Structure 1
Amino acid sequence: MPASSEPRPRGMTTVAMLAAAVAALILLPLVVVVGQALGLGWARAGEFLFRPRIGELLGHTAALMASTLPLTLVIGVGAAWLVERTDLPLAGFWRTMMLAPLAVPAFVSAYAWVSVRPQLAGFSGAALVTTLAYHPFVFLPVASMLRVLDGADENIARSLGLGRGRAVVRTVLPRLRPAICGGGLIVALHLLAEYGVLEMMRYQTFTTAILQQYAVGFSDGQGSLLASMLILLCVLVLTAEVVLRGRARVSRFGSGVPERPATVPLGRWTVPALLAMTVLVVLSVVVPVAQVVRWFAQALSQGGVDLPALATVTGTSIGLAVVGGLAAVLAALPGAWLLSRHRSALTVVLERVTFIASALPGVVVALALVTLSVRNVHWLYQTTALLVICYVILFVPRAMVSLRSGLAASPPELSESAHSLGSGGPATFFRVVLPLSLPSFLTGFVLVALAVVTELTATLLLAPTGMRTLALAFWGASDELDYVRAAPYALMMIALSVPLTLLLRHQLQKESR
């Protein structure tokens, strides 16, 4: 029996309807924001957008993008090359350290640097912190590809007389382009969505302006216009990534065993390479963590750690993370099932719509949900349910990627055999599919849960009155420059984020086998 018969037609229709409902939910913020912006009319919109302030915000955003993006690409690609393709000593240690900045939320890193150098602010501070915090997003995909890339073309180029450098430029770099472009895309989208780092560094962009607009006096039209500009920038970034990535084939086709590329000896460059890696780790990991620990120790010595309050806030954050993680996994499941079992033009469209969420900054989604709830479903405003819905919209792509790979590990033929023995759809899923794909389900859940723990902008706008998460408690204290009071919350966020680093490290090792 063909795989397309699983699940049975009636169940298939239900799954498709659920996937369409999730896609509609994810499109909702974009529709609301654009609709509110268009409601102002062209004259008022033009008057608002062509002010010098908007040009300043656009210039700040472009300047930050033009500085941070190239730096993260150079650092990420260079570090990946040293770790994966050279005889750099302690490669496993450096591989872990390159991912370690992901365990330190970017706004916590900004807090640490500001406490070290209070004069570090403006463009230079924003560029420094974002570069140090975001380079792992480039390192991870490039290192993953280098570990599995076939070295045959490079070896052939060397045999034809090309030097090692020219052979790499001609044969390796072109095949790394999808990974480099993918990592650069993630960095660019994070830069557009970043709030905590930029606000702490007093560097204004569209995201900080939207939050300020909301704080001083919420205006649906003007706030939505700013959010629409942010969406437009996201669309431009996504389009540029598609164009730059190209369609060139990067995988090998044909018979034969893939060749492992030769390890490049560093020779006299070993010491400079180790020094460069050490400086990078010190600046991106050691300085932030050391400052947080320093302020935490000072809080302990002063008796300033309110353990019951810390426990309560941590419990709230973990509770939201668990609920948000489960909700995102359940929301991603119908689309992932369709893609793995009944791939078609419609399912691909639903997938692309789902991934739009990864390009929407949290402030845009939150702004849309505030507008929608206040105007249409007032009973939903200032509720935990609305906050969880926002988390689902923002983070369902993280769950989708994991679920797709997990469901692929469960062959449709096994489910067909279960059906032929009289097992129904739900029973087959829990007895056959879930045990085989459970690791990927857990991976998706962990990725979303940890993202929820450190989420700031959407939580600032949507958290019910009186609710405090680790991110909100930290932000409240750090915004008042009370570094001692903020330290326990920062340290707890780092502790909860460590599993993400370990998970990604394990995934990187597994992909190379």
Structure 2
Amino acid sequence: MCRQVAHKKRTTAIPLGLLLPVTLLVLLTGLPLLYIALRAHEAGLEHALGLVFRSRVYDLLLNTLKLVMVVTLLSSLIGVTTAWLVERTDLPRRKLWNALLTLPFAVPAFISSYSWISIFPGLEGFGGAILVLTLCNYPLVHLPVAAALRGMDPALEETSRSLGFNRTQTFFKVIFPQLRPSLFGGAVLIALHMLAEFGALSFLNYETFTTAIFDQYYVAFDGASAAMLTLVLLLLCLGLLALELLIRGKAKYAISRKGSPGMLENIALGRSKPLAIAGLLVLTVLAAGVPLGIIGYWLFTGTSSVVHVHDVFTALTTTLSFGLGGAVLAIVFALPLVFLAVRYQGKLATLAERLPYFIHSLPGLVIGLTLVFFAIRYAYPFYQTTLLLLISYTMLYLPLAQSSIRAALMQVSQQLEEMARSLGKGSFSVFVRITLPLIAPGVGAGLALVFLQIMKELTATLLLRPTGVDTLATKVWEHTANAEFGASAPYAALLILVSGLPVYLLTMRSFTQGSKQPALPLTAEKADYEKVNHPARV
């Protein structure tokens, strides 16, 4: 039994059962950095610098930054507008509109892009990428901003109005500052998604770092060039994470009173109501109606739409098994990691807790290239095995499980565990019989979140899947790459259906319960809270 100290009643010695998995996790999360260093060393310093400082890299940097800035700006404008209309106006059927506006969250971006390209082949390049990716990503701003509006203290607005400010002045002087952490947090998340996006941009023929890395590896077979492009992409990710930390550090929220959101006055739209409804209807049709409608069209009319039931069923079961396996493995790693971070102090606990968030910001393509490199050279029996693929899923989505479990564990009193130990129970017995049942809701939320993300994952799966094994996402990719839109339709429809139903249910639940939740600052604690209580917002 570990020796206890008086300060905050935390143990000083880390049990071996926690130390081993956490150490393994730290080593795994450090592999992308080691991969880049090894490839640079193999290429030589002069050649590596030449690969980084060349005109092609500058072009890719310009393309990537343009995409990130424009999509983030447009998505933020749309997300704030829709959140305001749903939460603060007398818009009819607001609950239904909230569900419709978040429905694009269930449609993978590469499916949306192939839907648009199949009917408008000329919709390529920068313009097409802006249209499709904005329609796919604005819910990432809509959801947190809507939650912030629901949790805002009405006394702030009442005070502003009593001082003589009109509605417009009140919005910019009082309301908007309270929305900034949620707005900027969603914007940073969209920007990270733009850095990681591959499938949609490949269909839309718009080249960024991610598509160029894939081409260098798969087409040109130039691993050194791919690694150096990965280095630049990694630096961009670090820059965005630094921006998120800056925003988080300055965020301040007013604490809302219990039940106060119900006192907020809904603004009458008046003559603008038909215009607002028409705008939301057009947005919903473009963002969700077009992909769903085109998939239905190709499913029933496409010349290549002969459905091989066995292939579809196999892809579905493979997707579900990969999703469940990856989610379980993520939970297995997240449990000791979170327990170490919450119950113990020290540099190892801090490092182990933050590293997965850094890896989560990297594209799946980078994780895939890293594991391919090390598996071929140092662990060839694991190359193209299900285990290696599940490890990649764990590295990519561990923070989703980690945050959910952490929030649940923070609510468990350590005194309960200490009392059980004082009765002669071992640490493992205490965890299984006391702690685990109490954190079960957080474990379930993390499991569901990772499961949903894995089903939609494409790039790491393309690189690491066992030979001859396909998921719904890879089948959509393979058929659409050959312009077989009808053949891809059954797989796309199943993928949206499987992921869309949980997203819809969780969104409706968050809408009905959101008024009871306080608004929190954009901190790690808020991320923990949101992913447990409102998983659809992730």
Residue 267 of structure 1 aligns to which amino acid in structure 2?
G
Deviation by residue 1:8-64 (Cα, 9 ceiling, x = unmatched): 666645324533432331122222224423543332123223333222211211221
Residue of structure 2 in register with 1:468 after alignment:
470
Residue of structure 1 in register with 2:316 after alignment:
314
Residue 280 of structure 1 aligns to which amino acid in structure 2?
L
Whole-angstrom CA distance in 2 between matches of 1:266 and 1:459: 47
Residue of structure 2 in register with 1:358 after alignment:
360
> Cα distance 1:466–1:344, how it changes in 2: closer, same or farther (>3 A)?
same
Please point out which of 131, 135, 140 is paired with 2:134.
131
Bigger Cα displacement from structure 2, 339-348 vs 30-39: 339-348
Deviation by residue 1:83-131 (Cα, 9 ceiling, x = unmatched): 1122211111111112211111110111111112121111111111100
Report if aligned partners of 2:51, 2:225 keep a CA contact under 8 Å in 1. yes
Bigger Cα displacement from structure 2, 256-265 vs 394-403: 256-265
**Any idea what SS the aligned residue of 2:439 has?**
helix
Residue of structure 2 in register with 1:49 after alignment:
52
> Cα distance 1:468–1:59, how it changes in 2: closer, same or farther (>3 A)?
same
Query: With structure 2 as the length reference, what TM-score do the two structures score?
Result: 0.89
Residue of structure 1 in register with 2:531 after alignment:
none
Residue of structure 1 in register with 2:199 after alignment:
196
1:219 aligns with 2:222: yes
Query: Which residues in structure 2 correspond to 1:356-505 (within 5 Å)?
Result: 356-498=358-500, 499-505=502-508
> Cα distance 1:376–1:35, how it changes in 2: closer, same or farther (>3 A)?
same
Whole-angstrom CA distance in 2 between matches of 1:257 and 1:472: 47
Bigger Cα displacement from structure 2, 399-408 vs 276-285: 399-408
What is the deviation of 1:504?
4.0
Residue 397 of structure 1 aligns to which amino acid in structure 2?
P
What is the deviation of 1:206?
0.8
Deviation by residue 1:137-194 (Cα, 9 ceiling, x = unmatched): 1111111221112222222111101111111211121121111111011101110111
Residue 78 of structure 1 aligns to which amino acid in structure 2?
T
Whole-angstrom CA distance in 1 between matches of 2:187 and 2:345: 28
Query: With structure 1 as the length reference, what TM-score do the two structures score?
Result: 0.93
- Identity among equivalent pairs (%): 37
1:114 aligns with 2:117: yes
Paired residues, number: 510
Residue of structure 1 in register with 2:172 after alignment:
169
Whole-angstrom CA distance in 1 between matches of 2:468 and 2:476: 15
Gaps of 5+ in 2: 517-538
What is the deviation of 1:244?
4.2
Residue of structure 1 in register with 2:513 after alignment:
510
Residue of structure 1 in register with 2:265 after alignment:
262
Please point out which of 151, 155, 158 is paired with 2:154.
151
Gaps of 5+ in 1: none
What is the deviation of 1:502?
2.2
Whole-angstrom CA distance in 2 between matches of 1:38 and 1:69: 36
1:347 aligns with 2:371: no
Residue of structure 2 in register with 1:68 after alignment:
71
Deviation by residue 1:248-283 (Cα, 9 ceiling, x = unmatched): 421339x99856433222222222211111111111
What is the deviation of 1:503?
2.3
- The CA RMSD over aligned residues, in Å, is 2.3
Bigger Cα displacement from structure 2, 210-219 vs 276-285: 210-219
Whole-angstrom CA distance in 2 between matches of 1:316 and 1:291: 25
> Cα distance 1:467–1:417, how it changes in 2: closer, same or farther (>3 A)?
same
Residue of structure 2 in register with 1:272 after alignment:
275
Report if aligned partners of 1:320, 1:388 keep a CA contact under 8 Å in 2. yes
Residue of structure 1 in register with 2:519 after alignment:
none
Bigger Cα displacement from structure 2, 383-392 vs 494-503: 494-503
**Any idea what SS the aligned residue of 1:512 has?**
helix
Residue of structure 2 in register with 1:329 after alignment:
331
Report if aligned partners of 1:177, 1:245 keep a CA contact under 8 Å in 2. no
